Amino acid sequence: MKFDIDLVGKIGSMALIDKEHSDIDYNKFARLGRQLRPGMIWVSSGATEIGRLDYIRRTGEELTGNIDDVKTDYAAQGQAILMQTYRNFISEKYGVKQVLVEHYHFNDKSKREHIKEMLLRCPAQNTIPIINYNDAVSYEENRKMEIRELLKTKGYAVELVDNDETASQIACLVKSRLLVILTGLDGIYKNLSDPSSLIKEISGANADEVIRNIEYTKTLCNGASRKGANGAFAKLEYIKPCVMQGTKVIIASSKYDLQDIIDGSAPSTTVAVR
């Protein structure tokens, strides 16, 4: 099977934060920077939280007011810092591109194609795209209204409610060989309170069988690794289109090196056709 991109990866906001010191986890960025290379597409959360921490550091207090306005302001402040930090740690041999997407980009055929062609040009240009949802210009009330209209007129809508979905949509768009979703846990668990219940593999003889096994696994999942996260159930739902096109999906903890996760030497949940 031919794939156009080697890997699409995603890392969440809190994985990039040093909670103990309320600062950016520069060690995490350094490890990723050493391993990201052209042929990979990286989906990175973090702008809003990094912007919040930067604002507090500069002013000594948090923003108050309408929650959508606060999120917008933090995201706008954090996007520049997020990209600057990636640029600092990715090899100077490679170019780095920032790509900010919104839900309507993936619900319009021409916009999807435009994004796809840009991403597919990146390996030949020796560049690494860093993708994030554009929280600075999209607010929840407006997004929900637009999604409702799309559902009414088309019967289907890509929401991009979090970057797990964004990464899955990107992996489908560019037909990636691998999709790696980094989370706060070692993978998908039958029971979050039981470390021995890690599900190491969800597989099948063909894509349809894998989808059936994903659906079964979803019935075992409850809870999320942190407040506000969509949890394992949502991740498994988002990756189904990727599995159908032949992409191998790996869900693992961000505490491990990316290469160790890809090589299979770190704990993870792998979802793929055998």
**Measured distance CA(21)–CA(249) in Å, rounded:** 33
Question: Torsion angle, CA of 104/95/82/183, rounded to 10 degrees?
Answer: 70
Count, residues in the chain: 274
Q: Copy the structure tokens of residue 245.
A: 């096109």
Beta-bridge mates of residue 183? 253
Q: Are 231 and 150 in contact (CB under 8 A)?
A: no
Q: Are strands 248-253 and 198-199 parallel, antiparallel or unpaired?
A: unpaired
> Measured between alpha carbons, how far is 239 from 181 in angstroms, rounded to an integer?
10
Is the CB of residue 204 less than 8 Å from the CB of residue 274? Answer: yes
Q: What is the pLDDT of residue 237?
A: 94
Kindly report, residue by residue over 167-198, the tens digit of the pLDDT: 999 999 999 999 999 999 999 998 888 989 99
Q: What pLDDT, in 10s, does the model give residues 196-226?
A: 999 999 999 999 999 999 999 998 876 444 4
- pLDDT of 147 reads 79
pLDDT at position 222? 63
- Compute the distance between CA of residue 263 and CA of residue 252 in angstroms, rounded to an integer: 12
Q: How far apart are CA 75 and CA 98, in angstroms?
A: 14
Query: Which pLDDT band holds residue 148 (cuts at 50, 70, 90)?
Result: confident
Q: Using CB atoms within 10 A of its CB, is residue 171 exposed (0-12), middle (13-18) or buried (19+)?
A: buried
DSSP 94-117: SEEEEEEE-GGGGGSHHHHHHHHH
Domain housing 102: 5-273
What local confidence, expressed as pLDDT, does residue 191 receive?
86
Cβ–Cβ under 8 Å, residues 210 and 204: yes
CATH number, position 232:
3.40.1160.10
Kindly state the average pLDDT of the residues 246-258: 97
Q: How many domains does the chain have?
A: 1
The predicted model scores a pTM of: 0.92
Question: Residue 17 above 70 pLDDT?
Answer: yes
Mean predicted lDDT score pLDDT of the chain: 92
Residue 11 vs residues 14, 36, 167: alpha-carbon distances, Å: 9, 13, 9
Strand locations in 69-207, DSSP E?
95-101, 127-133, 176-183, 188-189, 198-199, 201-204
* Phi-psi domain of 39 (left: phi exceeds 0; alpha: psi -120 through 50; beta: other): left
Tens digits of residue pLDDT in 87-146: 999 999 999 999 999 888 988 999 999 999 999 999 999 999 999 998 888 777 777 787
Q: pLDDT value at position 1?
A: 76
149-163 pLDDT per residue, tens: 878 888 877 877 789
% of the chain exceeding 90 in pLDDT: 77
What residues pair up with 176 in beta bridges, in sequence order?
5
